[in-house]
Amino acid sequence: MTHFPLVVFDLDGTLVDTAPDLISALNWVLNREGLPPVPLQSARTMIGQGARRLIERGLELEGREMSMADITRLTTDFIDHYAKHIADASRPFDGLIEALDDMAARGHRFAVCTNKLEWLSKLLLDQLGLTPRFQAVCGADTFGVSKPDPVILQQTVARAGGQMSAVVMVGDAGPDIGVARRAGVPVIGVEFGYTEVPIADLKPDLLIGHFRDLPAAVDRLLAKNKA
């Protein structure tokens, strides 16, 4: 039996450029605490480990220490505000739609495996009109584990109806490379994401700088897997 190829994407910094709305929400919280805003460009690399960690890093930048309870309060307020503005400026990265159309026409299917909360991920994809393209959308709270724990990827693949032997992961940062490695699947790194460590240094199987190159990269890794 031939299983359909499944391409599993990270969300923030991979599928969608979410930094403008995430950092805007962070700055809203910081401003309320009397702290100066963080610049968008330098803050992009702070994204990808969930809302609470983003808040913590924003406070660290200002040398501000807060109790766990205060950080929890700020995180809750951040999420409430962010949900209302989740797609004000967030957009799919250039070439994504064409790449998905190309691969879908050849029988590929797609899923999302992210450290964003599942409901926020679905809300974002809904507002961008992308939800119908994905067999499954799974977040940090879906299975109780986050990337790079391989369980989140394995369970995402299962929910999407795929087989681990026909999966390619696509991501922009360490948790994506790590989850793929631990789950034993090939991984493509995108060069336009939010990682602090250059994606090339994390040694994905292949690197792309634009989504126009994704279909060929996916096919190359799937063919290698079959060999």
23-63 pLDDT, tens digit each: 999 999 999 999 999 988 878 888 877 889 899 988 988 88
Q: Which tens digits make up the pLDDT trace of 129-169?
A: 999 999 999 999 999 999 999 999 999 999 999 999 999 99
> Distance (Å, rounded) from C-alpha 64 to C-alpha 34?
11
The answer to whether position 193 is within a domain reads yes
> Distance (Å, rounded) from C-alpha 114 to C-alpha 155?
12
Q: Which of 40, 56, 84 is the last residue of a domain?
A: 84
Query: CA-based diameter of the chain, in Å?
Result: 61
In whole angstroms, how far apart are CA 42 and each of 14, 59, 99, 186, 221?
A: 18, 14, 29, 30, 33
> Distance (Å, rounded) from C-alpha 20 to C-alpha 24?
6
Rounded to a whole number of angstroms, the distance between the first and last alpha carbons of the chain is 16
176 given a catalytic annotation = no
Asked whether residue 10 falls in the same domain as residue 45, the answer is no
Q: Which domain holds residue 35?
A: 19-84
φ, ψ (nearest 5 deg) of residue 12: -65, 125
Asked whether residue 111 falls in the same domain as residue 74, the answer is no
pTM tops 0.75, yes or no:
yes
